[in-house]
Structure 1
């Protein structure tokens, strides 16, 4: 297995490396399955930006998650905004099953999200490196 280097980075970074999992959805018909994919960083940013717009019903949030994660065999998204109402009308057992896989694949469990927020929002320790006096020193 090659180590990422300046020489190998183009080959490594030009292909998506997203995990997928097939989920049986018998509620939608005999033998029906969906492929749930991990989101790219950009897709995850868009998903969270949409959620930050305000409180949304669980069924709408789950439908948005499915739009961002249900793919076909080639990895192309299957669902779009025109499918939201129909997804929200489906039984909760099927939607919950698919959404739970999407949440797990994307590290979106509450504890994982809290850890990510803590890690990204952590204030740097020590001197900020600026020449300005600190707030406490200037008071």
Structure 2
């Protein structure tokens, strides 16, 4: 049976997951983002800069505080209300990195971020690695110890 407009718009399809965080002494509820919220998040971590050839603009990912920026949108109370505002991201980002990373993985999965998108956002994609390698001014590390 094909769904109609009302069935689609009436469907409760945003998922939540309770996650044990022993480091904080209890559970937190992580809610996936809606389509509009996901677009807003992705837009908030992308900026444009002039391309190297000077013929246009290219997107650049701003990874500073990226995990916390997602989590402030996804951590909710029992009623589904956000626990944090967007302005709380720096304070949340100052918490244990292992916890933030673990919760980010859940939020990304529930929000529909593909593994490829997640790797790109985290700077682990081949393109991000190639870009970083081509712009690095650091000397190469030697594999032999003195």
Name the TM-score class by shorter chain: 0.5 to 0.7
Residues of 2 paired with 1:72 and 1:10: CA distance? 28
Q: Give the match's secondary structure for 1:36.
A: strand
1:86 and 2:91 aligned? yes
Q: Hey, which of these two has a bigger chunk of strand by percent?
A: 2
1:56 and 2:63 aligned? yes
Per-residue deviation, 1:41: 0.5
Who is 2:29 aligned against? 35
Distance 1:77 1:111, change over 3 A: same
Residues of 1 paired with 2:116 and 2:63: CA distance? 21
Q: Give the match's secondary structure for 1:90.
A: coil
Structure 1, unaligned runs of 5 or more: 115-139
Q: Which runs of 4+ in 1 moved over 6 A?
A: none
Who is 1:104 aligned against? 109
Per-residue deviation, 1:85: 2.3
Residues of 1 paired with 2:15 and 2:30: CA distance? 8
Per-residue deviation, 1:34: 0.9
Structure 2, unaligned runs of 5 or more: 48-60, 120-146
Who is 1:18 aligned against? 14
- Report if aligned partners of 1:107, 1:113 keep a CA contact under 8 Å in 2: no
- TM-score when normalising by structure 1: 0.66
Equivalent residues in 2 for 1:109-128, closer than 5 Å? 109-111=114-116
- Report if aligned partners of 1:21, 1:35 keep a CA contact under 8 Å in 2: yes
Larger Rg: 1
- Report if aligned partners of 2:73, 2:86 keep a CA contact under 8 Å in 1: no
